[in-house]
Amino acid sequence: MKPKICFLDVETSGISQMRHAIVQIGGLICADEGGALAVLEEFCLNVAPFPADVIEDEALAVSGVTRDQLRTFPAPGAVHGDLTRLFEKYCNKYDKKDKMLFVGYNAPFDYGFLRKWFEKNGDKYFGSWFWHPAVDVMSLAMLRLAESRHAMSDFKLVTVAAQLGLPVEQAHNALADARVTKAIFEKVR
């Protein structure tokens, strides 16, 4: 059976999944069709923080989100419902053999944040949607770029994309970052 692949990215209000909020979830759900990845659906969901979440101004500046904008974003519970309904279109969470690959750039960060966000929403079934472990495109890119790594200023998504000759539409937008992650994945696999 060909795997379904979910390229996922989150924008957050800081770096601690325990203390900080997810403010945007974006991704692409793809099917492997003979080696080519067909995009089945794209999504980008803004989400308000939970009341106890810490909001760091520096993190908001990176993603270009203001505190005023956060107040207009849908509540986490509503977004959780939207996201799980989206996943239900492609997976049966009650079938242990029907899951998606979770693919991200620095995947442990996004995977961990999203898992914790599911828990904050009272949902302990994050693992019903995704195979474990997540696929980290950053590590795959490192294998491809090992010989030129010493000449790169950093190994951020935008830098790696540029090194591979890939365009970047808008950094630190969850959907845009997921698209670039998919492009890097396709280039390095």
Could you report the per-residue pLDDT of 15-31, keeping only the tens digit for each?
Answer: 999 999 999 999 999 99
Q: Residue 33: its pLDDT value, please?
A: 84
Could you report the per-residue pLDDT of 23-67, keeping only the tens digit for each?
Answer: 999 999 999 888 789 999 999 999 999 999 999 999 999 989 999
What's the whole-number average pLDDT of the chain?
A: 95
Residue 184: pLDDT band (50, 70, 90) is very high
The residues facing 20 across adjacent strands are: 54
Could you report the per-residue pLDDT of 98-139, keeping only the tens digit for each?
Answer: 999 999 999 999 999 999 999 999 999 999 999 999 999 999
pLDDT score of 72 more than 70: yes
Query: What CATH architecture is 4-136?
Result: 2-Layer Sandwich (3.30)
Residue 74: pLDDT band (50, 70, 90) is very high
pLDDT score of 1 more than 80: no
| Distance of alpha carbon 169 from alpha carbon 178, whole angstroms | 11
Q: Residue 2: its pLDDT value, please?
A: 78
For residue 165, the Cα-to-chain-centroid distance in whole angstroms is 22
Residue 143: pLDDT band (50, 70, 90) is very high
Q: Residue 110: its pLDDT value, please?
A: 98
pLDDT score of 173 more than 80: yes
| Distance of alpha carbon 69 from alpha carbon 107, whole angstroms | 26
Q: Residue 127: its pLDDT value, please?
A: 95
pTM of the full predicted structure?
A: 0.95
Please compute the mean of the pLDDT values over residues 74-79 and round it to a whole number. Answer: 98
